[in-house]
Chain A
Amino acid sequence: MEDFLPYLAVLLPAMTAAISTGAPILYATLGELVMERGGVLNLGVEGMMMVGALAAFLGCYHTGSPWFGLLCGGFSAMLMSMLHGAICLIFQGSQVVSGLALTIFGTGLANYLGTPYIQMKIQGFTALDVPLLSSIPVLGPIFFQQDVLVYLSYILPFLLWWLLMRTRFGLALRATGENPAAVRAAGISPGAVRWAALMLGGFLVGLGGAYLALASMRMWVDNLVSGRGWIAVALVIFAFWRPGRAVFGVYLFSGITAYLFRAQALGVGIPTAFLSMLPYLMTLAVLLASSLRGKDSGAPADLANNLRPED
């Protein structure tokens, strides 16, 4: 029993770390989820996060306000998302190709424009204990001794769930992802709904990038996102396109990563190549399991299809 004690002892700090390292991925995953529920596949998350991260850094660096930086991050990624919209919704380009191009473009653009700022520091968001709640044993340090963007990330999934499942807009958005013709028949423009999904989702993805610059590093460094955008894309599939399961997937992934690091630090041999495979492995396992049970994956039926002109 005594041998296990240290492994239990690192659980708590691992969970604390999982919440904060998971936050940027959570924002990005929820952003991608909104876009995909509306029927638009956007593989540009990685590039959008990079641009969001740089814009957030620049906004904070030049004004000193992390909140202004956060808005810059959200809106710049929204612009990137609208570029994707222009290509796919107006010019009928392939969503897969446009998304991949967006990733390459966004990563290159952010690295290029960010070069003069490499290593420069900003104040950013630091941990802010919630009064009373932070002194709850065990749960307090894990959930309530974090930065304010993490607290926002607790509320966001509930808001999104409400928006998608309980509002007319959410119904239209989900229907557009499943059957745009039906939406048209109901007198709503599916094109307009997809634009809205892209803008809202893009903004959220940008917040994910902004988190990395404003809270994780509080500094500009090259390639800050380093593949987290792709993890978000994989987690949307893992989550069966549901906000609640997305939250579970994000924290499962960031939790395992954080725990494996600490287990290594204690001297347990865990193959770390496993780490980098993990989100994709999890996604494959879930897809396999659901298809074995004869269920469909829950993907929006019209995902990645462009609207036909008559829609």
Chain B
Amino acid sequence: MFKRAMFLVLALALSCSAALAADAAKEIKIGFVYVSPVGDAGWSYSHDLARQELEKHSDISTYYMESVPEGADSERVILSMARKGYDLIFTTSFGYMDPTLKVAKQFPKTAFMHASGYKTSENVGNYFGRIYQSRYLTGMVAGLMTKKNQIGYVAAFPIPEVVRGINAFTLGVRAVNPKAEVRVVWTKTWYDPALEKDAAISLLDIGVDVIAQHQDSPGPQEAAQDRGAYSVGYHSDMSRFAPEAHLVAAVWNWVPFYLEAVDQVRKGTWQPKSDWPGMESGIVDISPYGKMVPEDVRATVDQRKQEIVDGKYVVFSGPINDQSGKLRVEPGKVLSDQELISFDWFVDGVVGTMN
């Protein structure tokens, strides 16, 4: 008994002093690899906002490389970060998946986290957030604010991630406004500001009065602002591009997630896994509302947000019909993560096709 107590005390003392020593001596080094420039207001910008927060902690030092093309170039960049002894490296684009795994094999002591992919290894984890929950809420705002019951959605590529976003948004619109329709225009671009602006104008031409988007550029926001329509942003609060138009945005907040990962690496408890946290963890959220959004709309949406956070409401829960009116999700059933990851059909209320 005494022995065991002694052991405990010793262990405690040791770990305390170790922790103290570590705090004093070793600051943890975090690397970030971005696919686009951090000033783009989009995906990379959202990660960099979190990086700047981490940098404010005195015991964390961060470093980033922006505009790193996917493929061979990214492997070189990740490799040089690993060589410099970074403790944890975040690679934040889909195409970094295999390069990350390849480099990770040579640096078993370094932790790697890859965003938006699906592969893991001994020291590579992957992560993403359930941004579709935010999309659903922004859809509710759009559904309540539209006067013509016509909403436009400037979409990037017909892949499951984008389709999931359109569906969640439309379910949100329909939850509050069963008469409204969401019209989809594909640009087949992630980033072409002038083209995406024209795609939004084409929707405004046929009479939509709210524009939502899935690309990284502020082009669609600009179009809504120019034409006196409303807009819904994505990735980050885009209200500075369209102060008169911007209702709300579906936004990322990587800070708590990254802080936790850093903490785990420091304590040695970090495990490579596939992480897909939702709004309850704070990783996804909606931006502050524009000043034109009235109080009752805010209250309705905030209430649903609380239900999602508390786990009382699931976005993709039945009954859900597809575009042809066929029942695809039975009442009381919810879509599994596997089904969400391979979404290839539109819910009722979407006007548009899958190509």
> A111-B67, A265-B185, A273-B188 are known contacts. Are A21 and B194 too (CB-CB below 8 A)?
yes
Number of A interface residues in the complex (CB < 8 A): 37
Interface-facing stretch out of B75-83, B195-203, B324-332: B195-203
Q: B299-342 interface mask toward A, CB cutoff 8 Å, 1 = contact, 0 = none?
A: 00000000000000000000000000000000000000000000
Q: Does A221 contact B (CB under 8 A)?
A: yes
Q: Does A264 contact B (CB under 8 A)?
A: yes
Q: B264-305 interface mask toward A, CB cutoff 8 Å, 1 = contact, 0 = none?
A: 000000000000000000000000000000000000000000
Q: Which of B41, B191, B194, B355 contacts A272, CB < 8 Å? A: B355
Interface residues of A in 245-276 (CB under 8 A from B): 257-258, 261-262, 264-269, 271-273, 275-276
Instruction: Report chain A residues within 8 Å CB of B349.
Output: none
> A111-B37, A118-B39, A226-B195 are known contacts. Are A219 and B218 too (CB-CB below 8 A)?
yes
A261, B208: Cα distance in complex, Å: 14
Q: B154-193 interface mask toward A, CB cutoff 8 Å, 1 = contact, 0 = none?
A: 0000000000000000000000000000011111110111
| CB of B219, distance to nearest CB on chain A (Å) | 7
On whether the beta carbons of B205 and A119 are closer than 8 Å, the reply is no
On whether the beta carbons of A10 and B205 are closer than 8 Å, the reply is yes
Interface residues of A in 270-286 (CB under 8 A from B): 271-273, 275-276
Q: Which of B152, B186, B206, B240 has the most CB of A within 10 A?
A: B206
Instruction: Report chain B residues within 8 Å CB of A221.
Output: 40, 193, 217-218
On whether the beta carbons of A226 and B194 are closer than 8 Å, the reply is yes
| CB of B93, distance to nearest CB on chain A (Å) | 15
Instruction: Report chain A residues within 8 Å CB of B50.
Output: none
A10, B183: Cα distance in complex, Å: 15
On whether the beta carbons of B36 and A261 are closer than 8 Å, the reply is no
On whether the beta carbons of B219 and A217 are closer than 8 Å, the reply is yes
A222, B41: Cα distance in complex, Å: 11
Interface residues of A in 1-41 (CB under 8 A from B): 6, 10, 13-14, 17, 21, 24
- Nearest CB in chain B to that of A228: its residue: B194
| CB of B141, distance to nearest CB on chain A (Å) | 21
Instruction: Report chain B residues within 8 Å CB of A13.
Output: 202, 205
Q: How many A-B residue pairs have CB under 8 A?
A: 105
A115, B67: Cα distance in complex, Å: 11
Q: Which of A216, A217, A261, A272 contacts B202, CB < 8 Å? A: A261
Q: Does A135 contact B (CB under 8 A)?
A: no
Q: Does A89 contact B (CB under 8 A)?
A: no
Instruction: Report chain B residues within 8 Å CB of A56.
Output: none
A285, B355: Cα distance in complex, Å: 24
Interface residues of A in 142-166 (CB under 8 A from B): none
> A21-B198, A222-B39, A226-B192 are known contacts. Are A264 and B185 too (CB-CB below 8 A)?
yes
A268, B186: Cα distance in complex, Å: 12
Instruction: Report chain B residues within 8 Å CB of A119.
Output: 39, 41, 218, 240-241
Q: Does A235 contact B (CB under 8 A)?
A: no
On whether the beta carbons of B206 and A10 are closer than 8 Å, the reply is yes
Instruction: Report chain A residues within 8 Å CB of B183.
Output: 265-267
A302, B351: Cα distance in complex, Å: 52
Q: Does B209 contact A (CB under 8 A)?
A: no
Q: Does B353 contact A (CB under 8 A)?
A: yes
- Nearest CB in chain B to that of A271: its residue: B355
Interface residues of B in 110-145 (CB under 8 A from A): none
A222, B42: Cα distance in complex, Å: 12
Q: Does B352 contact A (CB under 8 A)?
A: yes
| CB of A91, distance to nearest CB on chain B (Å) | 30
Instruction: Report chain A residues within 8 Å CB of B187.
Output: 272
**Chain B residues within CB distance 8 Å of chain A:** 36-37, 39-41, 67, 152, 183-189, 191-195, 197-199, 201-203, 205-206, 208, 217-219, 222, 240-241, 351-355
What are the 8 closest A-B residue pairs judged by CB atoms, nearest first?
Answer: A269-B353, A118-B39, A261-B202, A13-B205, A226-B192, A267-B351, A216-B194, A272-B186
**Chain A residues within CB distance 8 Å of chain B:** 6, 10, 13-14, 17, 21, 24, 111, 115, 118-119, 212, 216-219, 221-224, 226-227, 257-258, 261-262, 264-269, 271-273, 275-276
Other than the given A221-B193, A261-B202, A273-B188, 17 more pairs (CB < 8 A) read A17-B205, A21-B198, A115-B37, A118-B37, A118-B40, A217-B194, A219-B193, A219-B241, A222-B37, A226-B189, A264-B353, A265-B185, A265-B208, A266-B183, A269-B352, A269-B353, A276-B188
User: 13 A–B contact pairs at CB < 8 A?
Assistant: A13-B202, A17-B198, A119-B41, A222-B36, A222-B39, A262-B202, A262-B205, A264-B184, A265-B185, A267-B353, A268-B353, A269-B354, A272-B188
